[in-house]
Amino acid sequence: MDNRPIGVFDSGLGGLTGVRELRKHLPHEDIIYFGDTGRVPYGSRSPEIILQYTRQDIAFLLSKDVKCIMAACGTVSSTYPAAEAAQLPVPYLGVVDAAAREAAFATRNRRIGIIGTAATIRSRSYEKLLRQLVPGAEITARPCPLFVPLVEAGYVDHSAPDKQQITKLVIAQYLTEIRDAGVDTLILGCTHYPLLKTMIGEFMGRDVVLIDPAKTAAHRLEQMLAERGLRGDHPTGQAHFFVSDVPDSFAQTADLFLGEYKGGPIDQIAIDKY
């Protein structure tokens, strides 16, 4: 038993989709969340800058005495070196591994699509793993950079029809090639994409399985804590949020990602100090 908090971080607020899943799977755990709202987005940046930011984010969480760290960010999970993660003083989990395994399990025709930020697709993180897991896999991958700003502007599944029209055009623009490749499984490899799941599903067709990495990672973290004897037993787990820009916009946008779960306190920190 270990009642220290779980540390979760993301380039911004998208990682709250991960917090929402953790709340469902691990209701007795405390969570410390860091969203790098002052430096988001990561997905369009160079590997060197992403690594520097990732190290600072992790150093901040470690200063809060977390018992494990989950990178909810697709970009960070795709670029943070496994060798470095293995040296951390607490267990580290990204979102790529569990989602790739789920995709390998789901596919019947070995044709798998991957979408994510430019940095995620460039890293070929999912692709490398899938080629090991699914011999002969045919992989079609593409970055979808407009999805993040569309989601943050509220052009999501449950938005008004005129907003949805715009998102649907962008979905068609990005995903036609993947649909035409005949994939039966599509990895939504970025924190924001699950908020477009219904529209993406309608475009791809109902036979295509959509993999949500936040869900698979939360499930994996639950197993990992149990295996290592690190589960907490708080009567009700609390969440404490930290951001690197003023918290105002956090409160406005957080609802979009958190769903019904209403979070805890929000504080601003100076991430450059870590």
Which positions lie near ligand DGL, rule CB under 6 A?
Answer: 10-12, 14, 40-43, 73-75, 117, 120, 148, 190-192
Nearer to ligand DGL, 111 or 220 (CB): 220
Supply the minimum distance, in Å, between the C-beta of residue 119 and ligand DGL: 7
Tokens of 215: 């869900």
Nearer to ligand DGL, 30 or 152 (CB): 152
Supply the minimum distance, in Å, between the C-beta of residue 147 and ligand DGL: 9
Nearer to ligand DGL, 11 or 54 (CB): 11
Q: In whole angstroms, give the CA distance from residue 164 to residue 178.
A: 21
144 is catalytic: no
Q: Tell me the residue number closest to ligand DGL, measured at CB.
A: 43
Where would I find the H helices in 159-212?
A: 161-180, 197-204
Selecting among 16, 68, 73, 137, the annotated active-site residue is 73
Supply the minimum distance, in Å, between the C-beta of residue 140 and ligand DGL: 19
Supply the minimum distance, in Å, between the C-beta of residue 44 and ligand DGL: 6
* Four-point Cα dihedral 199, 201, 203, 205, nearest 10: -150
Report whether 211 contacts 130 (CB < 8 A): no
Report which DSSP code applies to 88.
Answer: S
Q: In whole angstroms, give the CA distance from residue 5 to residue 119.
A: 29
Annotated binding-site residue numbers for substrate: 10-11, 42-43, 191-192
Rounded to whole angstroms, what are the CA distances from 193 to 17, 145, 188, 211, 255?
Answer: 10, 11, 6, 10, 15
Q: In whole angstroms, give the CA distance from residue 139 to residue 259.
A: 32
Pairing of strands 31-35, 68-71: unpaired
190 is catalytic: yes
Report whether 136 contacts 110 (CB < 8 A): yes
Nearer to ligand DGL, 42 or 174 (CB): 42
Selecting among 190, 209, 254, 271, the annotated active-site residue is 190
Q: In whole angstroms, give the CA distance from residue 52 to residue 45.
A: 11
Nearer to ligand DGL, 194 or 263 (CB): 194
Tokens of 236: 């009700």
Supply the minimum distance, in Å, between the C-beta of residue 9 and ligand DGL: 10
Q: In whole angstroms, give the CA distance from residue 199 to residue 156.
A: 8
Catalytic annotation, residues: 73, 190
